[in-house]
Amino acid sequence: MLRYFTAGESHGEALVAFLSGLPAGLKVDQAFLDRELWRRQQGFGRGGRMKIETDKARILSGVRHGATIGSPIAILLENKDWKNWQESLPVEEGDSAKHKRVASPRPGHADLAGALKYNFPEARYVLERASARESAARVAIGALAKLFLRELGIDVLSHVVAVGAAALKKGVAWEQILGLSERNEVLLNCADPEAEQQMKEEVDKVLRTGDSVGGIFEVVAHKVPPGLGTYAQWDERLDGLLAGAVMSLQAVKAVEIGTGVTAASSPGSAVHDEIGYEGATGFTRSRNNAGGIEGGVSNGEDIIVRGYLKPISTLRRPLQSVDFASREPVKAAYERSDVCVVPAAGVAAEAMVALTLARSALEKFGGDSMTETSRNLRGYLEQVKNY
């Protein structure tokens, strides 16, 4: 079983990510981990925090001589902004006068619900953990899951299909998505330059008005073999696991598998993917509306997951709120923030999809070493080929 969790606050000393269950013998490319973290930090509309941080993955355990050794992996990500917060967020008791309160909750954020849940008089501690800064830790361990999946012939990448009212209006081939990931300058991670320019204009508009904007990203898992997940139990269905993983990301409010949204208003004949057979390649599909999953099981087509991202809750022109202490009407608190994070959210979603597929692959193929896992996979693929 692949297990993982993260720890750390937005303005704390560091983020820490833990990953347990990867087989021994997986080669770990440090440059790849750092590249993934860099990709998460990019995108038109990011805020001032990204000018402070340069995320690098410091592996503390579980990797020796450039390869996994089967024991739990711990990764530390330093928060360079910590130097500006040491006095206001000390571990020890400290000086309460230096504490930076979040005096009024922001609509759309976890501020009020979190303060009520944990009985805080204001929302500083809620903000610190609920912040999307935490997703950097997920990207770090997600990069390890990606390296594992690559050994099985599977790749996971994302692209942006909409920002605000600007949307991609044509299909995107895998090669185009791959090309986006290799760019050294990220605008809005859209495969169509014209649509990307329209998306940029959407961001420019909210920048001028002190607002924020959301959008839609699409994660594609390429060359996933059939048979991951199961229809046998509700909580083991692959589509359910992926939906939960992507929905767990900050600001994601809806998840779609394949063309699930439009399928709801379409006839079955226009939705379901017709099946064929060719001797050289085996079973074929005329299209991939199912997004690579049928009945909770991968069917051999690319897995396609879309995340619908709400606008960032922090606005430079704040909405109406209430003061925690006086209960009087005031404007919501403002914290330094982004105005658009759709490309970054796509990278974080890649990590969650990769971790979910890696877990499902290990449940399917097992193995305490990469040699064993790879051998089991080859045997299974031979079985499918000869079906």
pLDDT at 48: 64
- Cα atoms in the Cβ-side hemisphere of radius 13 Å centred on 314: 18
Which amino acid does the sequence have at 226? Answer: P
Q: What's the rounded Cα separation, in Å, for the pair 101 and 384?
A: 59
**Look-up of token digits 């089967």:** 70
Q: What's the rounded Cα separation, in Å, for the pair 140 and 76?
A: 9
Domains of the chain and any CATH numbers: 3-385 (3.60.150.10)
CA distances to 40, 48, 111, 137, 336 from 125, in Å: 24, 21, 9, 18, 16
pLDDT at 50: 63
Q: What's the rounded Cα separation, in Å, for the pair 53 and 357?
A: 29
Q: Which two tokens stand for residue 79?
A: 């928060």
Provide the 10 A C-beta neighbour count for residue 250.
19
pLDDT at 49: 62
Taking only the tens of pLDDT, the chain with its 387 residues reads 899 999 999 999 999 999 999 999 999 999 999 999 999 999 998 876 666 778 999 999 999 999 999 999 999 999 998 999 999 999 998 888 889 999 999 999 999 999 999 999 999 999 999 999 999 999 999 999 999 999 999 999 999 999 999 999 999 999 999 999 999 988 999 999 999 999 999 999 999 999 999 999 999 999 999 999 999 999 999 999 999 999 999 999 999 999 999 999 999 999 999 999 998 888 999 999 999 999 999 999 999 999 999 999 999 999 999 999 999 999 999 887 899 999 999 999 999 999 999 999 999 999 999 999 999 999 999 999 988
Q: What's the rounded Cα separation, in Å, for the pair 207 and 316?
A: 9
The phi, psi pair for 133, rounded to 5°, reads: -55, -30
pLDDT at 191: 95
3-state secondary structure of 87: coil
Q: Which pTM does this prediction carry? A: 0.96
β-strand 14-20 against 3-7: which pairing, if any?
antiparallel
**Look-up of token digits 């709801």:** 264
pLDDT at 62: 98
The phi, psi pair for 331, rounded to 5°, reads: -80, 150
